[in-house]
Structure 1
Amino acid sequence: MIEFERAETLSLKSHPEIIEKWVQDLIADDPSILGLGDLELRQKERIQPRAGRLDLLLQDPVTKRRYEVELQLGATDETHIIRTIEYWDIERKRYPQYDHCAVLIAEDITSRFLSVISLFNGSIPLVAIQLRALRVAGKLTLVFTKVFDELTRGLVDEDEEAEASPADRAYWETKASKSTLTGVDDLMKIVKSFNENLEPKYNKYYIGIGKDGSPFNFVSFRPKKSSITLEIKLPQSDDIDENIEQAGLVQLVYNAQWGLYQLRLTLVDVKSKKDVLSELMRLAYERRSQL
């Protein structure tokens, strides 16, 4: 029998014992609770020249992307937003070799401040996370919910078409190999099972997907001499990461800037791991079809 326990919502701002540092330390011990991926702590209370201290500096161990995190108990306000952006700006100028993202965390992020934050989206990679404190069965738990995500900085399909130099199959047979192109053909059979109107679109740097004469790139292929790099446009999630790992697929990296998974496939992978590849591409197709 499933038992239900009612949760009580608490205000950390008005809590007599909890202070901001307690939450800060909790995140520092396990940054994954923010839901931004398997991040690592670089530094707490990082001194900013003539600008105070950054609450948390986190980093993705694979992509090396850095997250400048500012935490505030209670409701966010103008100074919180300004401080978050200021610290992000300082860090990106000090360490331009890294990709940087500003992260604002507060218990209450009103629609008014979401509107203000949206003004920066597209020019500043900014994520807003709402923090909720709950008491369940006498124990305190924290829930972090992303209420505003950064704009994915990738080319839209029309720009991809404009930027891509046209090529043909013969070009790729020279650049890659006939055998890896056969692997691409097998992957395209899966793609066409979603929609018969989808066709390979040969470009100089990748093989994309076309639909009715226009780009429809929910996946793309970069065949090489003995392998294929498969790029799948999906938001990163623990479930997808687990499926990829359990299938034994080689994940090169998750490209957060372009919002896609990059998998290195052998011809054996294409045939023996068809089911999981089909499922991943299907999810990407359904997501692209909803745009």
Structure 2
Amino acid sequence: MLKAHPAFGEKWVQARIADDPSILGLGDLILRDQERRQPRAGRLDLLLQDRDSSRRYEVELQLGATDENHIIRTIEYWDIERRRYPQYEHCAVIVAEDITSRFWNVLALFNGTVPLIAIKMQAVKVGTDILLLFTTVLNELKRGLIDEDEDAAAAPADRAYWENEQGSRETVAMADDILKICHQFQPDLQLKYNKFYIGIAENDRVNNFIYMKPRKKGSLILGIRLPLSTDVETLIKDNDLDAMGYDPGDCGGTYRIRLTKGDIETKEELLRVLLDWAHDNRS
């Protein structure tokens, strides 16, 4: 373990994550602060933020095995930050070399009331180099979308709402184009209009393997629910899609892409592949 290593300690680990926060496996993150002073509560090791959203991660590092002090500190820092900056969505993250069975139960108990992620860190020596491997062993409890529970009627909408309030006739028509692509592999899908997004129903049952948010000026945000994958990342990058980042906390993980009418027309085959994968993954 690094805890006993004379040269590679917690400050070294902190610096490696600060240099490249993506190594944690939580998506495309940027460093907002390091050793962030907390009122009457010490210092937060790392404050990270999703590059394309208001989601922030309060990260506490621990070499060796988890203990009660670090768990309490992790939750305390998360609570301080969410109270000071309520305009952001906050998630507590504890990173440790060993998450023991005793504290696994404690962490699982907090999860559900506190958005909490536990990551196991392993140090691997390759030649003279030390490589860090991070594995999420406890993920944030996934919360369903509003139309996936009994409160679906609380936020109904229709096509006119999206054409007049959130998007336009042209951008809502882009949702029709996406649906036509989906019909190539599943003809029983329909659009389902909600206040915050346009989802998908299959045989009159919700199946939001994708969601869409038409905008006013010529674009549509497409969310594709797939696990984080190098293959998917490569497809998106190599085909010059306007990627808006990956949200690991959104119903199992979601790729967000900004599309224009031209993108849908010229990249139809690529979109069909991605949408089909997402549909199979949710089925």
Determine the structure 2 residue equivalent to 1:142: 132
Determine the structure 1 residue equivalent to 2:200: 209
Choose which of 246, 258, 264 in structure 2 pairs with 1:270: 264
Structure 2 portions without partners, runs of 5+ = none
Determine the structure 2 residue equivalent to 1:26: 16
Matched, 1:232 2:192: no
Determine the structure 2 residue equivalent to 1:39: 29
Task: Give yes or no for contact 1:64–1:99 (8 Å, CA) kept in 2.
Answer: yes
Determine the structure 1 residue equivalent to 2:186: 195
Task: Give yes or no for contact 1:192–1:199 (8 Å, CA) kept in 2.
Answer: no
| Amino acid in the other structure paired with 1:95 | Y
Determine the structure 1 residue equivalent to 2:85: 95
Task: Give yes or no for contact 2:111–2:140 (8 Å, CA) kept in 1.
Answer: yes
**Deviation digits for residues 132-177 of structure 1 (CA, Å, limit 9, x no counterpart):** 1111234321111111111234426234732342535x77666766
Q: Work out the CA distance in 1 between the residues paired with 2:280 and 2:24.
A: 27
Q: Work out the CA distance in 1 between the residues paired with 2:198 and 2:69.
A: 47
Q: Work out the CA distance in 2 between the residues paired with 1:244 and 1:210.
A: 25
Determine the structure 1 residue equivalent to 2:276: 282
Aligned length: 278
Matched, 1:105 2:105: no
Which structure would you say has the larger Rg? Answer: 1
Please say which of residues 175-184 and 196-205 is displaced more in the overlay.
Answer: 175-184
**Deviation digits for residues 150-205 of structure 1 (CA, Å, limit 9, x no counterpart):** 1234426234732342535x776667666555543332222123323222334565
Q: Work out the CA distance in 1 between the residues paired with 2:71 and 2:122.
A: 19
Determine the structure 1 residue equivalent to 2:158: 167
CA drift at 1:72: 0.9
TM-score computed with the length of structure 1 as normaliser: 0.82
RMSD of aligned C-alpha atoms?
A: 2.8
Structure 1 portions without partners, runs of 5+ = 1-10
TM-score computed with the length of structure 2 as normaliser: 0.84
